[in-house]
């Protein structure tokens, strides 16, 4: 158990949640059992006067988290990506969590830069502004390079943030231990696993080299995407506690009046944001997982600019194909194929009825497709889909939950720009393009060629492998009496397979 020395922090947390009204909201969101509710009241109500008041204009849970400080704010942001834990309503509320804090002093920012780069600030930057943005973990300054006068954005971690986070994470582990101890039923929510996930994400964000690397990879992947821009990393001015990117001017996508005044086509912007997200998720398997309006700008020439790469999502090749086939199946209303994909991927246990699952999927899709364009929601479809798959025994998959959460955010951005956007019409060309390239005969031939290429690397070893298989067949181990024929047939099949691979490789060579 971690964090027994943080009892005071635990009491202060409970008191703040009680005083702000967040306690009741959280307990209802997670459907907390009676022992947890009693413990929460014991930790909160008697000490309510010790709790922080927070901003009354903010909803209760974000109000409490904001009052408790950076680690709690970040924890709320991470939980907004886990509707499986806090429920879709609470996840949606946490998405609007205000991540704004007072900036730290310029003198401290200068000290960090000079310490990290081991040279005077003036040797690197001819200009260095006051903070232009301050969040829970870091703040950003606009600067100009001495070398060539280019404008850059310098992101600097808050002083002492690592120690503060480690202390609060220790307290979070204590809370998780108490929850699991008082209510064994709550273990289905895996409280300690949630804290471990949070700790992993935060520890990465506290090393700006990781974010710089994510930005660099995203920049390389999207370099040829017309109308979409990712700033370039200044690697020689980036380290663990500071990161320097190219400065990009633009209007934040939340400022609709300014976008109209600049003459930008909001309908085209909405469609581009949605299509780019899908393209990155399907084509690259690496997508921006925090694409809210504050992290997106529109440049003077109409390009969409992405910022803040602390939370990125990944999908492996197989998951991308599954996701694309599921979306395409719904677009074509082929619910049987959507059901088959879930069973083929192992998302739904094989002992369940595929026909019943297809019927349940029809109940998800048909009402949505009966709506007018302004109400058709891909995010709603994904949410319903997860409800159905949960009923059929599908286990939680973190990467798909992050994808769902990001899809909800992206759809919200697109609708804010174009309330009448037809999500499915906009998504169809991207999904069809991916299906054409990565699913079907063309993809099968590509996969076969990749397999042959991998096996060809073992070319010199194939004869020895075949000999070992044949010797094993001739001299099987005899730990106990059993029917040898299935094993011998297996070895024989292995030998034939290796022989076939050898023949295929020789033919290709």
CB 432 within 8 A of CB 328: yes
Nearest Cα neighbor of 242 from 232, 233, 250 is 233
Measure the CA–CA gap between 139 and 157, rounded to whole angstroms: 7
CA distances to 72, 450, 468, 472 from 455, in Å? 50, 9, 17, 21
**Residue 447 pLDDT grade (very low, low, confident, very high; cuts 50, 70, 90):** low
CB 144 within 8 A of CB 127: yes
Instruction: Give me the pLDDT at residue 487, please.
Output: 46
**Residue 292, phi-psi category: left (phi > 0), alpha (psi -120 to 50), beta (remainder):** beta
Strands 251-252 and 296-298: antiparallel
Residue range 35-63, pLDDT digits in tens: 777 777 776 667 677 778 888 888 888 88
Instruction: Give me the pLDDT at residue 211, please.
Output: 94
SS3 306: strand
**Residue 285, phi-psi category: left (phi > 0), alpha (psi -120 to 50), beta (remainder):** left
This prediction has a pTM of 0.72
Average pLDDT rounded to a whole number, residues 89-95: 73
Alpha-carbon dihedral sign for residues 183, 189, 191, 192: positive
Can 255 be counted among the known catalytic residues?
no
Residue range 271-305, pLDDT digits in tens: 999 999 999 999 999 999 888 888 899 999 999 99
Instruction: Give me the pLDDT at residue 183, please.
Output: 67
Measure the CA–CA gap between 284 and 219, rounded to whole angstroms: 12
Average pLDDT rounded to a whole number, residues 221-250: 95
Instruction: Give me the pLDDT at residue 247, please.
Output: 95
Measure the CA–CA gap between 479 and 491, rounded to whole angstroms: 18
Residue of 84, 168, 225, 290 with catalytic role: 290
Does residue 129 register a pLDDT over 60? yes
């Amino acid at each position: 158990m971690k964090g027994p020395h943080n009892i005071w922090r635990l009491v202060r947390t409970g008191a703040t949640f009680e005083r702000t009204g967040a306690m009741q909201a959280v307990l209802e969101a997670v459907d907390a059992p009676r022992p947890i509710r009693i413990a929460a009241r014991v930790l909160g109500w008697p000490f309510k006067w010790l709790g922080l008041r927070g901003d009354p204009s903010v909803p209760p849970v974000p109000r409490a988290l904001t009052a408790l400080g950076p680690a709690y704010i970040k924890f709320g942001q991470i939980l907004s990506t886990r509707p499986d834990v806090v429920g879709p309503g609470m996840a949606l509320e946490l998405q609007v969590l205000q991540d704004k804090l007072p900036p730290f002093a310029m003198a401290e920012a200068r000290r960090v830069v000079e310490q990290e780069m081991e040279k005077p600030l003036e040797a690197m930057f001819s200009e260095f502004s006051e903070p232009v943005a301050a969040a829970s973990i870091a703040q950003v300054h606009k600067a100009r390079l001495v070398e060539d006068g280019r404008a850059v954005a310098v992101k600097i971690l808050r002083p002492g943030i690592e120690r503060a986070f480690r202390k609060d994470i220790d307290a979070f582990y204590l809370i998780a231990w108490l929850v699991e101890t008082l209510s064994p039923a709550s273990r289905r929510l895996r409280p300690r696993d949630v804290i471990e996930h949070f700790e992993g994400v935060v520890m990465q964000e506290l090393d700006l080299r990781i974010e710089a690397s994510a930005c660099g990879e995203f920049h390389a992947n999207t370099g040829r995407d017309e109308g979409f821009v990712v700033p370039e990393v200044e690697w020689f001015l980036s380290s663990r506690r500071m990161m320097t990117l190219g400065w990009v001017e633009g209007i934040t996508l939340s400022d609709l009046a300014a976008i109209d005044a600049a003459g930008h086509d909001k309908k085209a912007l909405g469609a581009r944001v949605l299509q780019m997200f899908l393209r990155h998720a399907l084509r690259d398997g690496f997508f921006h997982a925090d694409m809210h309006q504050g992290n997106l700008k529109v440049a003077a020439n109409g390009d969409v600019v992405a910022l803040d790469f602390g939370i990125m999502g990944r999908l492996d090749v197989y998951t991308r194909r599954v996701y694309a086939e599921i979306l395409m199946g719904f677009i074509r209303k082929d619910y049987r194929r959507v059901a088959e994909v879930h069973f083929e991927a192992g998302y739904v246990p094989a002992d369940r009825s595929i026909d019943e699952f297809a019927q349940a999927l029809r109940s998800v899709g048909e009402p949505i497709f009966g709506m007018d364009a302004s109400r058709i929601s891909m995010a709603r479809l994904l949410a319903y889909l997860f409800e159905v798959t949960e009923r059929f025994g599908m286990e939680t998959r973190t990467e798909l939950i992050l994808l769902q959460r990001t899809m909800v955010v992206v759809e919200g951005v697109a609708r804010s720009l174009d309330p009448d956007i037809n999500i499915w019409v906009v998504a169809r060309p991207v999904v069809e393009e991916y299906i054409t390239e990565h699913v079907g005969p063309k993809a099968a031939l590509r996969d076969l060629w990749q397999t042959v290429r991998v096996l060809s690397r073992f070319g010199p070893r194939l004869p020895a492998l075949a000999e070992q298989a044949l010797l094993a067949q001739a001299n099987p181990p005899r730990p106990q009496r059993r029917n040898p024929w299935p094993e011998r047939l297996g070895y024989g099949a292995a030998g034939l397979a290796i022989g076939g691979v050898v023949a295929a490789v020789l033919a290709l060579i």
